[in-house]
Amino acid sequence: MKTSRHGSARPMRDSPFVLDVRTLGRSPGTMREEHRSVALKTRVGLEMIGIPAGELLEMDLRLEAVSEGVLVSGTIDGTATGECVRCLEDFEEPVEVSITELFAYPGSATSETTDEDEIYRIEDELIDLEPVVTDTIGLSLPLQPVCDEDCPGLCSECGVPLAIADSGHSHAILDPRWAALADKFPAAERPEA
């Protein structure tokens, strides 16, 4: 069953993204830290760059009970693979994102006064981090990924990557007005465009 961004489908207990918060209780200030290594079942990201299925995410989290729910904060690390929009070469890029998200208790004022798609909720004493992680990683990735900020791209004439082309790489472009005379002169004597 699919959920909306802040969906109401029940979390699956065996998902590595699901955290059980029963041990926190509801006393504000109670907290615990949790580290998880999670292998992604599906790719997370954008068309040109993303973290592939099977890649490990390292999650260092802090869960803290507050009056309206459980505040989850921490970092998520992984490695994205992408295709440079300039030279079309594949590359890898480390990804580190921070999350801070409130999961509201059922029946809390926050839960009762906030639209369903505006806040995450605790369901059956479980928190499902997958939508938070997916959204946060997706928003952190560049829409126009490049292998290097100084990537020169491809030659517009022949398509060779300019990063590996000779320093004097160029193409003699003959002025179309002289094209009819091109066969009558050796290349060394041709007029410049």
Q: What is the pLDDT of residue 110?
A: 76
- Predicted confidence (pLDDT) per residue in 137-168, tens digit: 999 999 999 998 888 787 777 767 766 666 77
Q: 17 pLDDT exceeds 70?
A: yes
CA distance 99 to 7: 18
- Predicted confidence (pLDDT) per residue in 110-129, tens digit: 777 777 777 888 889 999 99
Which amino acid is located at 59 in the chain?
A: M
CA distance 76 to 63: 14
CA distance 88 to 80: 16
pLDDT over 90, % of the chain: 47
pLDDT range class, residue 174, cuts 50, 70, 90: low
Residues 6+ apart with CB under 8 A from 124: 10, 11
Q: 193 pLDDT exceeds 90?
A: no
pLDDT range class, residue 3, cuts 50, 70, 90: very low
